[in-house]
Amino acid sequence: MPESPGGGDAGAPPQTTGAENPQSEQTAADKGEADPPVLSKNAQKKLAKQQRFEARKAEKKAAAKEQKRRDVERKRKEWEESLASVPEEERAKLLESRRSLRKERMEIRSQEKESKRERLSIAREQGQNVVVDLQFSHLMNPNEIHSLVQQIMYCYAVNGRCASPAHLWLTGCQGEMESALKRIPGFDKWIIEKENGSYIEALRDRKEDLVYLTADSETVLQELDLKKVYVIGGLVDRNRWKGITLKKAQEQGIQTAKLPIGTFMKMSSSQVLTVNQVVEIILKFLETRDWKTSFFAVIPQRKRCQSDSEGNAEDTIEKEHEQNDDLTATSARFGGLPGQANLSLFVT
């Protein structure tokens, strides 16, 4: 039997597709390692397609970065030339106006930071509680842990920008995962709950309010209830460990629910989303109280069925461009996220 996700908590054996090799997963799990299972031909094709997509995106990102560098250089030159071409008195004025513009921008930034702290502090008292369960790090390889850390950074950034953010919890913060999180600049100042113990321990008085979100649940989530605490599996596994969160929740005797994706859109493959997509959908739903809007705003076009364009393909493409710009802005705010070609490429 594979080791349970919580290293002692309830766990589940991975269910494999027909062509996968359950034996290899079992052995890896028995050893406490996270060896990738043998992939079926179909899965290999999918993986190769995804890798080509990622490579293309990475190339595009590198080109955009180079273009940005050239633009900055050009602007710097233009500025120097314009300074050199004006008399001394005019030059002083230009320099002064640039200085005050910078000061103004810095003031705006610090006001934004302050108001974000305020919003997050209010959310701590009265916001929707959302837990990311980090008790799966032993089931992920270093790349997957890296991806999860970036997804968490992204969740925190997006949440901070919301008018009414959620209150985020990171539970089961230990070992590899904890070290990786601690390496995030400013992580110690994040306004979240960080718990070394599991959510079951941290929220022992509210066990009946816990709802584990899992694509494998039979229960379809209809609404978000402020009194409930929604738990998301902190796992990047390309669904190698299918059903693991459902089994864990069932064994712990806590409620489960899946997002009502099928009611509003057709997906090109499974309905299993990444951690950051689930968090974003929750945040969008808190803002709009509308699942359809939330799904279409967050789930990328490539994950949806071709025909499912909500009647206006241009609109959707537009939204995606906006979203990608948004992701780039988030990345920039973090000073860039090292090693991540494109934040919109997070894998499940």
Ligand X SMILES: C[S@@+](CC[C@H](N)C(=O)[O-])C[C@H]1O[C@@H](n2cnc3c(N)ncnc32)[C@H](O)[C@@H]1O
Q: Binding residues for ligand X, per CB under 6 A?
A: 213-215, 232-233, 235, 237, 239, 241-245, 258-259, 261, 271-275, 278, 348
Residue 127 CB, nearest distance to ligand X (Å)?
Answer: 19
The sign of the CA dihedral 260, 266, 272, 275 is negative
Residue 283 CB, nearest distance to ligand X (Å)?
Answer: 14
Q: Given the complex with ligand X, which of 292 and 333 has the nearer CB atom?
A: 292
Residue 240 CB, nearest distance to ligand X (Å)?
Answer: 7
Q: Which residue's CB atom is positioned nearest to ligand X?
A: 233
Residue 133 CB, nearest distance to ligand X (Å)?
Answer: 8
The sign of the CA dihedral 149, 218, 47, 17 is positive
Residue 11 CB, nearest distance to ligand X (Å)?
Answer: 11
Residue type (1 letter), 7:
G
Q: Given the complex with ligand X, which of 119 and 155 has the nearer CB atom?
A: 155
Q: Given the complex with ligand X, which of 119 and 248 has the nearer CB atom?
A: 248
Q: Are 145 and 180 in contact, with CB atoms under 8 Å apart?
A: yes
Measured CA distances, 333 to 109, 151, 181, 328, 330 (Å): 11, 15, 17, 9, 5
Q: Are 148 and 234 in contact, with CB atoms under 8 Å apart?
A: yes
Q: Given the complex with ligand X, which of 177 and 215 has the nearer CB atom?
A: 215
- Dist CA 289 CA 146 (whole Å): 32
Q: Given the complex with ligand X, which of 188 and 218 has the nearer CB atom?
A: 218
Q: Are 175 and 137 in contact, with CB atoms under 8 Å apart?
A: yes
